[in-house]
Amino acid sequence: MSDGQHIQSSFDRDLEALQAMVMKMGGLVEAAITDGARSLETRDEELAQQVRDNDERIDRLELQINEEAARVVALRAPLAGDMRLVLSVIKIATNLERIGDYAKNLAKRTGLLLDLPTIDGAPRSLRRMAGEVERMLHDVLDAYIQRDADLAREVRMRDADVDQMYTAIFREFLTFMMEDPRNITACMHLHFIAKNIERMGDHATSIADQVIYTIEGTMPAEDRPKGDRTSTEILGSS
């Protein structure tokens, strides 16, 4: 990205507006993750409902961002850094929308879990995991707005931690289910929640990739460490 203002200041205003919308969307999504996880832990049906309702705003915002980005492409024909910025805005908005969907799903299952037996410690673990993802998202959006590729790179690395947490929770749920088959329904739901949070981490990583592309013009190579072993190893059969 080069510094300096455009000769047409309205172009600058358009690009700033786009990024402001992304930041607003990011804030809503962060809140959705935090609130969703808290509603799960505190079994707060009302908060869960609020998260579910808020998702509509996120979806609307994504539509708006796409429309605005299309308008900028059509009218401004952005090139080089500007073009990368607009492209990344579209992709980041898509990622954020997916994260928002996962948060909504989490809130949905929270309502369901109220009627099921409690699994000790699981909501707390999930909340810790969600907290980690929320921080990743927060940091990556910071990196975006401050054009800080190093921070984005660091966020990419942190996805491994989330994966590891997921692997640990996966193992835990297996144990619970083997102990008492009545836990299976609750554990399945909790596992989906864990999987969704892990997916959120993946989307945050994807956003980090976009941030790096926007700043440097090249996508980072696929060399980050993976911590999710559930799809490659047979776990818990010990």
Partner 1 sequence: MKDTRHEQRDTTMNDVKISASGVQVYYGDNHAIKDVDVEIKDKTVTAFIGPSGCGKSTFLRCLNRMNDTIDVARIEGDIRIDGEDIYDPNVDPVQLRAKVGMVFQKPNPFPKSIYDNVAYGPKIHGLARNKAELDEIVEKSLRRAAIWNEVKDRLQAAGTGLSGGQQQRLCIARAVATNPEVLLMDEPCSALDPIATSQVEELIDELRTNYSVVIVTHSMQQAARVSQKTAFFHLGNLVEYGDTDQIFTNPRDKRTESYITGRIG
User: Which residues are near partner 1 by CB under 8 A?
Assistant: 1-2, 4-8, 11, 77-84, 216-218
CB distance 218 to 169 below 8 Å:
no
- Our CB check for partner 1 shows the closer of 218 and 231 to be 218
- Our CB check for partner 1 shows the closer of 4 and 181 to be 4
DSSP conformation class of 220: P
Question: Which residue, among 108, 192, 141, has the nearest Cα to 20 in the 3D structure?
Answer: 141
- For the CB of residue 3, give the shortest distance to partner 1 in the complex, in Å: 8
- For the CB of residue 72, give the shortest distance to partner 1 in the complex, in Å: 12
- Our CB check for partner 1 shows the closer of 15 and 29 to be 15
Report d(CA 28, CA 222) in Å as an integer: 29
Helical ranges in 43-79 per DSSP H? 45-76
- For the CB of residue 4, give the shortest distance to partner 1 in the complex, in Å: 4
- Our CB check for partner 1 shows the closer of 70 and 80 to be 80
Query: What's the CA angle centered on 204, arms 203 and 205, to 5 degrees?
Result: 85
- Our CB check for partner 1 shows the closer of 44 and 216 to be 216
- For the CB of residue 84, give the shortest distance to partner 1 in the complex, in Å: 7
Hey, CA dihedral for 108, 113, 114, 116, is it positive or negative?
positive
Query: What's the CA angle centered on 208, arms 204 and 213, to 5 degrees?
Result: 145
Please, how many CA atoms are within 13 Å of residue 226, restricted to the half-sphere of its CB?
9
- For the CB of residue 5, give the shortest distance to partner 1 in the complex, in Å: 6
